[in-house]
Amino acid sequence: MMRTARYLAALPALFGLCVGALAAPPPAVPNPGFEEAGPDGWASGWIRGIGGGAKATIAVDASVARSGSRSLRITDATPTEAYKYALANTDWLPAEPQTTYTVRFWARGRNVGKCFVGATFEKAGEQRQPLPVGDYEWRPLTFRFTTPETNQRWSLRFIADGVSDGVWVDDITVERCPVQLANVAEVQEPRPYPDWFPRTPGPMPKQLVVADISKETTDLQAALVALQGLANRTRPRLYLINQTNPQRYDDLWLAYMKEKGYTGTERRLKQPLEALKLFRTDVRGVVVWDPEMPGTINVAWMLAGVMDALPASPDSAKLLGLPVVEDLRGRWKRNVDAYRWVYERYWSRMSHHLLAWEYPLTNALSSRDVMVQHRVFLFWVSAHTDREKGADPQAEMEFVEEMLARTPGNVPVMGWPMFNDKGVEEYSAVRLLSEYGKWVPGTGYNSNVSVHSAIRPSPAIFTRKAPEPPTPPLRADRVYVTTNIMDSGDAHWYWQFHQRRIWADPARGSVPIGYAMNMTTLDTLPLVLQWYFEKRTPNDSFFGLLYMNAPVYGSRFRAADRDRIWSQYVALFDLYRRKLGMDGLELYNGGSSGPTAPTAMLRRFTKGMPGLRYILADLGRHTDVNAANANTTLDGVSIFRTLTNFRVWTTSEEVANKKMEDENPWLVGEITTNAPKARPGFMSTLAISWCYFPAWLVDLNRRLPADYVSVSPGALDRLYRQETAGHAPGKGRP
C-alpha cells in the first residue's frame, strides 16, 4: 500500500474500510494445522485428488511441522502437462459475497516447481497464486482473494502442477482484509477519444522515414522505438523494421501500405541513429534506468512519454550523448516502490484509458512506441518463480489492484501478464483484469502501430458481404459441425504476424473455417485487417472477440457502476461488430472447470446488439455443458456452447512438436464422443490456432464419419434456425 498520507486518506472513500462490529466473522479453515487425522491417516476436513494419472502423493506428514506435530505434504514427479496435477482442498466453506479475505499460512519447500494456492468459488471460477519455487525453510505467505457477488461458498486449495520433491503447508488462517476491494465506486472520466484505442492523427505522409533496427542491441532498439513514439505523436513520420517472427514482416506490411497508396516512396536511412538527428527537436534527453532494479526499466519508459525522453541503460545513455533528464539508479529497493513513485507524481499526466502489463526485461519492444506516444502506465506483477531483483509479488499485486480500482472501466491493458513463464498465470491475470472492467488486447509483439493506426481504409472494405458457399440442405440424419479457430484471434499481434503464415497455406479455402477476430484491431492495425478482408475466400469467415472473462466483468464495482460499464462495453462491442460486418461473436467464460455463461449475462448481448445472429460461447467444453443443453435460442440469437475441449501445452517447443497424425484422431474422438445423439445435430467445436493450419482441418474432415457435415458458423446458425423453426407451433419440419 502507498505510504503517502494523501493516498491513505483517499482509501476509505474509494474502497470503504471494514467496520469490525458490522463485519461477519471470517470463514474458519477446518483442521488448519492438519493435526486431526482419520483412520486412514488423512487430514479431517480436507479432500485430496490426483488428476490425469500424475505421479504424485498427498499426505499428512508426521515428521515435519512448523508447529504441532503434523503438516500437509504434496509431491509431484510429473512434468507440467494439461490435466495432470495433485490437489488438496477443503470442502465448501461459507464466506460473504463481495468480500476481500487474506489467507495466511506457512510453507516449506524442496525443489518446488509449479505449485499454487487458490480459492475456488462455487459456480464462479477460481483465483490462484504461485507458491515460491526451489528450496526454502518455513516462511510465512499470504494469498488475497475477493469473493464474487454471486458467491455462496468457496474452497481453499493447494495444487502441484509440475515436478516438486515436496511442498509442506501448515498453520492456515483466514482474515477479512482491512481494505475491501469489492463494491468499489468507479472513478468516472469522459473517454478522451471516440475509438477504443487512441489513434495517430493523420494524414499519412507521402514519404515515411524508414530505419532498420532489427540487428541493433536491445538497448538501442529501446531508444529508437521510444523515439518513434515521440516522432509520431501528432502525425506518422517514422517507420521501423523491427525484429519480428517471421522475420521481415514489417517490410511486407510497408510494401502493402505503398501498394494501396497510403504512402509513397520511402526514405530509408543507412544508419538507424540517423533518425535521432532527424527528430532531435522532439527529444529532451534520456531517462537512465537502474540495471540492478528491473522495475526501473518500465519506469524509464513511462517517464519517456511524460518527459519527451528516451529510456536508456547507463551504457546506451553514453552512446546517445543526450542530456540526462532523470537518473533512476540507486533510488529504490523494490520494483513496486518505483511504480508507486510514478503513480503518485505523474498519474494525472498519463492516460487513464490505456494501461500496459509489461515484463520489464523483455526483448520484445516494438509495441512500446504506442506507450510512449500516449503516455501509458506500465506495470508488472512478479511471481515467486521469477526470482529476480527487487521483486515482491504480494506488494506488486496489492498495488496493481488498488490502481485498477482507481481506473475507469472498459480500459484495454496492453502487453501480457506472462513472459517465458515469468509473471502471473494468464487466466488468473485475465480474470483479475476483467473483475475491474479491463480487457486484454494482446499487443505484446505489435510493431509500428503509431504509423498503422493513422491509416483510414474505406469502411466499405469491411462491411461488404463476402460470397459464401451455398448452405447445405438440412437432413434429418446429419450432424452439422463448425470447427473454428477460437483461441488466438484475440491478440492484435497475432493478425499482424502468425495469422498471415496460416493464410499462406495452399489448402485455405477448401473447407469452411471461422476465425475469432479482435475487432479493435481496426483501431491499431487497419491496414492488416484490410489485407485479410480483401484476401478471404468464400470459406473464410470472421466473428468478433475481446479477451475478457465475461461472467466476472466489472464485478468489483458497485452495481450501478457495473451496469453502466456493461452498457458501454456492449455498445462499443456492437459498434465494432457492425463496422466489420460480423454476424456473430465469441465469449470467453472462464476455465472449463467452471460453469458456462449464465443467461442473464448472455442477455446483455442478445438484447443490446440488434442484428446479432449467433454467439459461440466458451473456450472449451465446460463441465455443465453437454450435447443436450449446448444449443439454444435466446431473444432470437442462436447460442452454441463449445462441445469439445482442447489439449494445451506449456512451451513453444511442445507446440512445434505437435503432429497432425496425433492431434486429429484425438479431436475426432472429442467430436464424436460429445456429438448430440438426436438428429439432425448441431455442434460448435474448436481447433487450436498454433497447430491447425487449413491443411490440418482438411485432414480432420476426412477423418470424420460420413454423416458429419462441416459448415461455417454462419451456416450452422442458418441450419439451426431452420430446424428450430420447423418445430415451432403450427409448423412441420421443412
DSSP for 391-428, please give it. Answer: --HHHHHHHHHHHHHTS-SSEEEEE-SEETTEES-HHH
Helix%, strand%, coil% for the chain, nearest 5: 30, 25, 45
Residue 19: the pLDDT is: 35
Query: What does the DSSP assignment read for 440-497?
Result: B---TT---HHHHTT----THHHHSPPP-PPPPPP-TT-EEEEEEE-SSTT-HHHHHT
Determine the distance from the C-alpha atom of residue 461 to the mean position of all C-alpha atoms in its chain, rounded to a whole number.
29
Q: Between helices 295-307 and 218-231, what is the axis angle to 10°?
A: 30
- Is the dihedral angle over the CA atoms 239, 245, 251, 256 positive or is it negative? negative
CA distance 418 to 325: 31
Encoded amino acid at 426, one letter? E
Report the distance separating Cα 629 and Cα 620, nearest Å: 15
Low-confidence residues of the chain, pLDDT below 70?
1-24, 649-651, 727-734
Q: How far is CA 675 from CA 589, 607, 669, in A?
A: 21, 29, 10
The pLDDT of residue 731 is 42
CA distances to 97, 424, 465 from 154, in Å: 10, 22, 48
Q: Which CATH number does 475-726 carry?
A: 3.20.20.490
Cell (9 digits) for 330: 540507486
The residues pairing with 57 across neighbouring beta strands, listed in sequence order, are 75
pLDDT for 27 = 76
- What pLDDT is stored for residue 125 in this prediction? 86
Q: Does a cis peptide bond (omega within 30 degrees of 0) precede residue 246?
A: yes
How far is residue 354's CA from residue 358's CA, in Å, rounded to a whole number? 13
The values of phi and psi at residue 472, to 5°, are -65, 155
> Cα separation of 479 and 668, whole Å?
13
Q: For the chain, what is the total number of helices (H) and then of strands (E)?
A: 22, 32
Contact, 660 vs 696, CB < 8 A? yes
pLDDT at 5: 28
**Of 60, 90, 84, 67, which is closest to residue 158 (Cα–Cα)?**
90
Q: So what's the pLDDT on residue 717? A: 98
User: In the chain, what are the domain boundaries?
Assistant: 18-176, 209-452, 475-726
Q: How far apart are CA 524 and CA 517, in angstroms?
A: 13
Q: Beta-carbon neighbour count of residue 430 at 10 Å?
A: 23
- Pairing mode, strands 411-415 and 438-439: parallel
Contact, 75 vs 57, CB < 8 A?
Answer: yes
| pLDDT the model gives residue 46 | 97
Q: What is the pLDDT of residues 313-332, one digit of tens each?
A: 999 999 999 999 999 999 99
From the candidate CATH numbers 1.10.10.10, 3.20.190.10, 3.30.750.24, 2.60.120.260, the one assigned to the domain spanning 18-176: 2.60.120.260
